[in-house]
A and B are shown apart, each in its own frame.
Chain A
């Protein structure tokens, strides 16, 4: 379903990687590894269509993502380095407004349920600026609980999380894969995602990864 061929990334004057190719089918997860600065985040942003690739192309269901536009974006869930959490809003308002912007309906009960699963129920009505780093990350990840879009692109989802939350997120990703979804993620921790058909990609080791 998701297919990348011969991707090249140039940042400023440095070539971060070249010749990156992979193919990911429903139910599979791509686990992206590499040192700091090897271009993991850049690759994820390319897969979302935020950054254009210097060369190579990315196809979703056989068609280039640049041509698909809205059709591709409506199947994509991206979680970036930054949390995309508004400090002025409460966790509840945050996940509901991000669902609305993604043109999904998330009623208050479902939203509260998501927050409960991530242990934020007692903070649901507190502006996010009073939350800790880890709690903010959880508020961002709460989006995943009821997320039904097919392709998840997650940049360091486990950062700043405690062991219980890591396990919970892994469970969510596993359930998503079992529904036939796809996931691409980067992480520095080794995390076991249940029931995942795992593919790995090393960036920066050599140019012809995988």
Chain B
């Protein structure tokens, strides 16, 4: 079981490494969106500090949306998805592998960039640490939940826009607890409650989402 998940992760990572431009583009999208906010609302440090958690989290959601459509689309186009669906192991396990690979390629870079961007927003050390930690805990949930939307919109007209329409409302709890944890740190409440709820969401997202995703993929392949 672990073996087959690892095989999928390995394959997807290798494919991603051969196509690095995509990863870099999504990262720059994240950086640019975040950097636009000070230009829009003004450079006042206190205000930026208040906005930082929300801005970074929303930008992380949008950057994830950018990479989601390709999660299954390439495999669908060249026929690999049929082979995956016909493989002896349950399709949900394969999906789990793909979700993990997606997080490593699209989620983890956002986590690594977050401290740098937080400095732009004048976040202090502990808030910066909590922001990074919240992204580290929360972004797997984004990959997991997003996979459901990616599977549902596979091969559908206007798939990319539709995908955002389906997935973004489902991201709201992650956004609330993720940004909330940093807010709670800034206001001196402590982030533990938020982070543990975020962790619960991430576990649920990663381990529950592959099943509806697999069902949606089978529907798309009919």
Chains A and B in contact, CB within 8 Å:
yes
Contact between chains at B85 and A84 (CB < 8 Å): no
Chain B interface residue count: which class? 20 to 34
Quick check: is B86 within 8 A (CB to CB) of the other chain? yes
The reply to whether B90 and A70 contact each other, CB–CB distance below 8 Å, is yes
Query: Does B19 touch A at the CB level, under 8 Å?
Result: yes
Contact status A100-B80, CB under 8 Å: no
Counted as pairs of residues, one from A and one from B, with CB atoms less than 8 Å apart, the total is: 71
Contact size range, A: 20 to 34
Complex contact A97–B11 (CB within 8 A): yes
Shortest distance from the beta carbon of A74 to any chain B beta carbon, whole Å? 4
Question: Which of B8, B79, B94, B221 has its CB near the most chain A CB atoms (within 10 A)?
Answer: B79
A89 to B14, CA, bound (A): 8
Residues of A near B42 (CB, < 8 A) are none
Contact of B78 with A70 in the complex, beta carbons under 8 Å: no
Task: State whether A101 touches B83 (Cβ < 8 A).
Answer: yes
Return chain A residues, CB-CB under 8 Å to B4: 100-101, 103
Partner of B78, one of A48, A78, A87, A97: A87
Task: Identify the B interface with A (CB < 8 A).
Answer: 4, 7-8, 11, 14-15, 18-19, 77-80, 82-90, 94, 218, 221-222
Interchain residue pairs with CB less than 8 A apart (30): A50-B86, A50-B218, A50-B222, A51-B221, A70-B88, A73-B87, A74-B88, A76-B86, A78-B86, A80-B83, A82-B79, A82-B82, A83-B79, A84-B80, A84-B82, A84-B83, A86-B78, A86-B80, A88-B15, A93-B14, A97-B7, A97-B11, A100-B4, A100-B11, A101-B7, A101-B87, A102-B88, A103-B4, A103-B88, A127-B18
**A-B pairs, 7 with minimum CB distance:** A82-B79, A74-B88, A88-B18, A84-B79, A100-B7, A84-B80, A84-B83
